[in-house]
A and B are shown apart, each in its own frame.
Chain A
Amino acid sequence: MKTLRDNGLFLVFFALFLLSLAGQAAAGVALFNEQQTAAGLEKVSIWQYLATSSFAVDVAENWQSEFLQFLLLIVASVWFVQKGSPESKKVGRRGLETDKDQLLGQHATAASPSWARAGGWRTLVYSNSLALVMGTIFLLSWLAQSIAGFSAFAEQQLANLQDPGTWGEYVLSPEFWARTLQNWQSEFLAVASMVILAVYLRQRGSPESKPVGAAHTETDVEG
């Protein structure tokens, strides 16, 4: 019970992810089969659909944009600030901050993670581990989007009695960039909205908000 309580936020969102992925598969196979029927082609089962490039590209294009959003927010918020936003550092703390602020070197404690205490390349890697992992997942899922997207695009081209083209042509194509950019615009709008709305609006009890009674000009305080 304590484990459920202590990990509740992750568990709730992971459950929502699984439920919405299942819903996406159900809606996706229905749409895929509508298109198959319209083209005079055979329908597929949901299990066959889960193995298609069509499903893979729809998943991957959303994953890459989410991880790009987090990567850019994590990195940009080191140097860019938004006065009054709980999403931002205080104006005077722009940059990588001191070792004292970051509990590194002589300021590390016994409870600090081992690679934070180790020094050298280990501390350098650990100091950038969040961006490195988010960036890696972004690049891998963007690559998966390009491969799955090309395969799905090629399959559709063949259904239309047209040449499939190559992966190289696909990553320069309007189809690939339309899919990519339509996802990016919504992610960046979401971050920009959250950063600025949280200056003036409140949600009592949420760490994503300032305390209800906090001034609009107060930066980097949690509710």
Chain B
Amino acid sequence: MLRSLGLALCTAGLLLAVTACGGSGPARDGAEETAESFYAALENGDYARACAMLAPATLEGVQQSENGGDQDCADGLREVSLQDPGEPLSAQAFGRNAQVEFGSETVFLTLSSSNWKVMAAGCTARGDRPYSCRVEGD
């Protein structure tokens, strides 16, 4: 009985340890690759590919024009006109969300159907407040 309890407690402890850790390497690398691909698509004028990399809520946000009407995603991204920020400086992933920092701006990503999608891009810091982003959801 005591041995079984010990085994159960150890298993529970191991499970807690596994789920407790975040910022995992492979997840972080995947997020970094997606962020780089997003900017590469924009640089090449491949707006359809860039739109496919947006998270659903972000896609909806881009499809909302400034005057509140609907617009094509490609037109929305063209209008924002994000520039290539260069090489990523750092990346972090926790659970289903990630952040990739470039020199001049930051990208936030989220997992959607096991793929990294861009949640917000062209983001600049505002101290303790949420980042101000040029591409984001509603």
Contacts and interface: CB of A to CB of B under 8 A. Distances in A.
Interface of A: 7, 10, 39-42, 44, 50-57, 59-60, 137, 140-141, 144, 147-148, 150-152, 154-155, 158-164
29 contacts: A10-B1, A40-B137, A40-B138, A41-B55, A41-B112, A42-B112, A51-B18, A52-B19, A53-B95, A55-B19, A56-B15, A59-B16, A137-B9, A144-B13, A144-B16, A148-B19, A148-B20, A150-B22, A151-B22, A152-B94, A152-B95, A155-B95, A158-B97, A159-B97, A161-B123, A161-B130, A161-B133, A162-B131, A163-B99
A46 to B, nearest CB: 14
Chain B binding surface SS class: mixed
Contacts of A137: 9
B120 interface: yes
Contact of B98 (A141, A151, A158): A158
Given A42-B111, A158-B108, A161-B120, A147 B21 contact: yes
Contacts of B15: 56
B56 A151 contact: no
A29 B58 CA distance: 24
Contacts of A54: 95
Given A140-B13, A154-B95, A159-B97, 20 more contacts: A10-B1, A40-B57, A42-B96, A53-B19, A57-B20, A144-B17, A147-B17, A151-B20, A151-B94, A154-B22, A154-B92, A155-B96, A158-B110, A159-B110, A161-B131, A161-B133, A162-B128, A163-B99, A163-B125, A164-B99
Contacts of A159: 97, 110, 119
A168 B116 CA distance: 27
B17 A155 contact: no
Nearest to B56: A40
Chain A binding surface SS class: helix
A141 B17 CA distance: 9
Contacts of A40: 55-58, 60, 137-138
Contacts of A155: 22, 94-97
Could you say which of B1, B110, B111, B130 has the most chain A C-beta atoms within 10 Å of its C-beta?
B110
A152 B23 CA distance: 11
Contacts of B97: 41, 155, 158-159
B113 interface: yes
Contacts of B18: 51
B63 to A, nearest CB: 13
Contacts of A50: 19
Nearest to B59: A40
B32 interface: no
A154 B94 CA distance: 6
Nearest to A137: B9
Contacts of A151: 20-23, 94-95
Contacts of B58: 40
